[in-house]
Amino acid sequence: MDNIHVLIVDDEEDLAKTIAERLEIRGIHTQTASDGDKALNLIKSQPPDVVVLDLMMPGIGGLGILKQINLLENKIPVILLTGYGSRERSIEGMNLGAFDYVLKPCNLDDLIIKIQEAIKIK
């Protein structure tokens, strides 16, 4: 898994850092972004293999970022990260091209499996 690069986008910076640290321990390289603009700049300058994207963020929300990612030439799989009760928005995101979604708090092993599956279809 040493060659996998994941971008975690969540306005809850502590949560994003925790997920990143736990993925790093398992050999997955990570970056974090706390807002949509920073995420899109990172995606354009250093395209990750997979984006783990929170749906509910201030400013440009997760669905807006997903739409921007879909416009890029390099198709990057997106796994949506959502809180309980936002399942409908997750389904909307899937209809917009997201690979899959996980509910917060996410089980790290489930997230890793989804990351690996997303890379296989890329």
The beta strand positions in the chain, using DSSP E, are 5-9, 29-33, 50-54, 78-82, 100-103
Q: Look at residue 121 in the predicted model and tell me its pLDDT.
A: 83
Q: List, run by run, the mean pLDDT of 10-residue segments along the chain (122 residues).
A: 89 94 96 94 94 90 91 90 72 84 89 95 76
Q: Cα–Cα distance between 57 and 9 in angstroms, integer?
A: 9
Q: For residue 99, which phi and psi values (nearest 5 degrees)?
A: -70, -45
Domain ranges of the chain: 5-121
Classify domain 5-121 at the CATH topology level: Rossmann fold (3.40.50)
* Predicted pLDDT at 100: 92
